[in-house]
């Protein structure tokens, strides 16, 4: 039985259903009983794990599925059991599908703001040291401030994704210019005491 999206949205949400946005992805199946692992985007804007329904984009349409159980795996992922998905084979059809959530940001907020996850693939430049490397991932396990996981010629480095370091974001050129604190890139080079 398929649930109609309108039946689970409140009247206030129905008028805003056009504000549905990608909140994460079904990354894999979990076990043999139809559970799935959902990973949310690192921008932290939408948390769908407390909802009664998981809204999955299947073949270009938003399909609500009733959640029967959620087991969180950190802040950004969870194993989810759905009412109508009972086998690993059924769950496999959802792997790779986008999970949608209602973007509840104020409409007056600047819609030009980039989401943190959209910076993956950008090259970081520092005016004093030149090209630093490419952002490969976002580590949001640190509650205070997420970190850019950056691939550099000398290996992987973690750079705080702090607004005060950002000088410029060039979306077209996929570059992020940051003024990094002296020595930040050389933390691993410090001799042990």
pLDDT of res. 16: 40
Helix/strand/coil (H/E/C) assignment for every residue in the chain: CCCCHHHHCCHHHHHCHHHEEEEEEEEEEECCCCEEEEEECCCCCCCCCCCCEEEEEECCEEEEEEEEEEEECCCCEEEEEECCCCCHHHHHCCCCCEEEEECCCCCCCCCCCCCHHHHCCCEEEECCCEEEEEEEEEECCCCCCCEEEEEECCEEEEEECCHHHEEEEECCCCEEEECCCCCHHHHHHCCCC
The answer on pLDDT for 8 being more than 50 is no
pTM value surpassing 0.85: no
pLDDT of res. 45: 52
Among 40-44, 123-127, 177-181, which stretch is predicted with the lowest mean pLDDT?
40-44
Average pLDDT over residues 43-63: 72
| Max avg pLDDT among 43-52, 95-104, 127-136 | 127-136
pLDDT of res. 151: 92
Average pLDDT over residues 15-38: 78
């Amino acid at each position: 039985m398929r649930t109609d999206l309108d039946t689970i949205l409140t009247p206030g949400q129905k008028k805003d259903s056009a504000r549905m946005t990608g909140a994460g992805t079904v990354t894999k199946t979990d076990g043999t009983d139809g559970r799935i692992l959902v990973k949310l985007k690192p921008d932290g804007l939408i948390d769908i794990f407390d909802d009664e329904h998981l809204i999955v984009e299947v073949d270009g349409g938003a399909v609500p599925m009733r959640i029967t159980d959620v087991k969180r795996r950190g802040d950004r992922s969870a194993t989810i059991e759905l009412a109508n998905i009972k086998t690993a084979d059924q769950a496999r059809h959802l792997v790779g599908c986008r999970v949608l959530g209602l973007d509840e940001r104020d409409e007056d907020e600047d819609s030009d703001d980039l989401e943190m996850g959209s910076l993956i693939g950008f090259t970081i430049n520092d005016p004093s040291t030149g090209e630093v490397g490419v952002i490969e991932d976002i580590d949001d396990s640190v509650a205070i401030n997420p970190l850019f996981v950056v691939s550099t010629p000398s290996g992987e480095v973690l750079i705080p994704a702090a607004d005060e370091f950002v000088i410029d974001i060039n979306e077209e050129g996929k570059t992020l210019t940051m003024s990094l604190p002296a020595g930040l890139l050389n933390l691993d080079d410090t001799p042990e005491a």
